[in-house]
Amino acid sequence: MAGLVPGMTGQGMSRPRKVHVKSFGCQMNVYDSHRMADTLAPSGYSETAQAGEADLIILNTCNIREKAVDKVYSEIGRMRELKDAAAAQGRQVLIAVAGCVAQAEGKEIIRRTDVVDLVVGSQNYHRLPAMIARLQAGAQLVDTEFPIEDKFDVLAAPSRGAIAKRGISSFVTVQEGCDKFCTFCVVPYTRGAEVSRPIEKIAAEVERLAGAGVREVTLIGQNVNAYHGAGADGHLGSLAQLLRHLAQVPGIVRLRYTTSHPLDMSDDLIAAHGELPALMPSVHLPVQSGSDRVLAAMNRRHTRKHYLDTIARLRAVRSDIAFSSDFIVGFPGETEDDFRDTLTLVDEVDFAGAYSFSYSPRPGTPAAEMEAQVPAAESAERLQRLQALIIRQWRAFNASFVGRTVEVLLEKPGRLPGQLVGKTPYLQTVQVMAGPKLIGSVLPVSVTGTGTNTLFGELTEPAQAPALVTAGA
Contacts with ligand F3S, residue ranges (CB under 6 A): 25-26, 28-29, 62-64, 99-100, 186-187, 190-191, 222
**Residue 181: which of ligand SF4, ligand SAH, ligand F3S, none does it interact with, CB under 5 to 8 A by kind?**
ligand SF4
Tell me whether residue 158 or residue 286 sits nearer to ligand SF4 (CB atom).
286
Q: What is the spatial distance between Cα 201 and Cα 209, in angstroms, rounded to a whole number?
A: 12
Provide the minimum distance between the beta carbon of 190 and ligand SF4 in the complex, in angstroms, as a whole number.
10
Task: Report the candidate in 438, 388, 379, 435 with the shortest Cα–Cα distance to residue 408.
Answer: 438
DSSP 352: S
Q: What is the spatial distance between Cα 417 and Cα 319, in angstroms, rounded to a whole number?
A: 37
**Residue 188: which of ligand SAH, ligand SF4, ligand F3S, none does it interact with, CB under 5 to 8 A by kind?**
ligand SF4
Please, is 121 exposed, middle or buried when counting C-beta atoms within 10 Å of its C-beta (0-12, 13-18, 19+)?
A: buried
Contact 310, 317 (CB under 8 A): no
Site for ligand SAH in 64-83 (CB under 6 A): 64-65
Q: What is the sign of the dihedral through the CA atoms of 61, 65, 71 and 76?
A: positive
Residues 197-226 vs ligand SF4: string with x where CB under 6 A?
-------------------------xx---
For the chain, the straight-line distance linking the first and the last C-alpha, in angstroms and rounded, comes to 54
Q: What is the spatial distance between Cα 293 and Cα 289, in angstroms, rounded to a whole number?
A: 9
Tell me whether residue 13 or residue 370 sits nearer to ligand SAH (CB atom).
370
- Choose which of 34, 261, 273, 302 interacts with ligand SF4 (CB under 6 A): 261
| Alpha helices, H only, 400-445 | none
Site for ligand SAH in 385-444 (CB under 6 A): none
Respond yes or no on whether the N-terminal peptide bond of residue 183 is cis (omega within 30° of 0).
no
**Residue 65: which of ligand SAH, ligand F3S, ligand SF4, none does it interact with, CB under 5 to 8 A by kind?**
ligand SAH
Tell me whether residue 15 or residue 67 sits nearer to ligand F3S (CB atom).
67
Tell me whether residue 100 or residue 311 sits nearer to ligand F3S (CB atom).
100
Residues 346-375 vs ligand SAH: string with x where CB under 6 A?
-----------x-xx-x-------------
Please, is 155 exposed, middle or buried when counting C-beta atoms within 10 Å of its C-beta (0-12, 13-18, 19+)?
A: middle
Provide the minimum distance between the beta carbon of 99 and ligand F3S in the complex, in angstroms, as a whole number.
6
Q: What is the spatial distance between Cα 233 and Cα 37, in angstroms, rounded to a whole number?
A: 33
Tell me whether residue 179 or residue 461 sits nearer to ligand SF4 (CB atom).
179
Q: What is the spatial distance between Cα 391 and Cα 387, in angstroms, rounded to a whole number?
A: 6
- Choose which of 185, 226, 374, 409 interacts with ligand SAH (CB under 6 A): 185
Instruction: Return the C-alpha torsion angle 228, 190, 370, 286, nearest 10.
Output: 50
Provide the minimum distance between the beta carbon of 208 and ligand F3S in the complex, in angstroms, as a whole number.
25
What Rg value do the Cα atoms of the chain yield, rounded? 23
Provide the minimum distance between the beta carbon of 194 and ligand SF4 in the complex, in angstroms, as a whole number.
9
Tell me whether residue 132 or residue 186 sits nearer to ligand F3S (CB atom).
186
261 binds ligand SAH (CB under 6 A): yes
Residues 169-188 vs ligand SF4: string with x where CB under 6 A?
---------x-xxx--x-xx
Tell me whether residue 100 or residue 118 sits nearer to ligand SF4 (CB atom).
100
| Alpha helices, H only, 361-462 | 376-399
Q: What is the spatial distance between Cα 126 and Cα 156, in angstroms, rounded to a whole number?
A: 7
**Residue 359: which of ligand SAH, ligand SF4, ligand F3S, none does it interact with, CB under 5 to 8 A by kind?**
ligand SAH
Stretch of residues binding ligand SAH (CB under 6 A), selected from 78-86, 180-188, 305-313, 462-470: 180-188
- Choose which of 158, 177, 237, 286 interacts with ligand SAH (CB under 6 A): 286
Binding site for ligand SAH (CB under 6 A): 64-65, 184-185, 187, 222-223, 259, 261, 286, 288, 326, 328, 357, 359-360, 362
Binding site for ligand SF4 (CB under 6 A): 178, 180-182, 185, 187-188, 222-223, 261
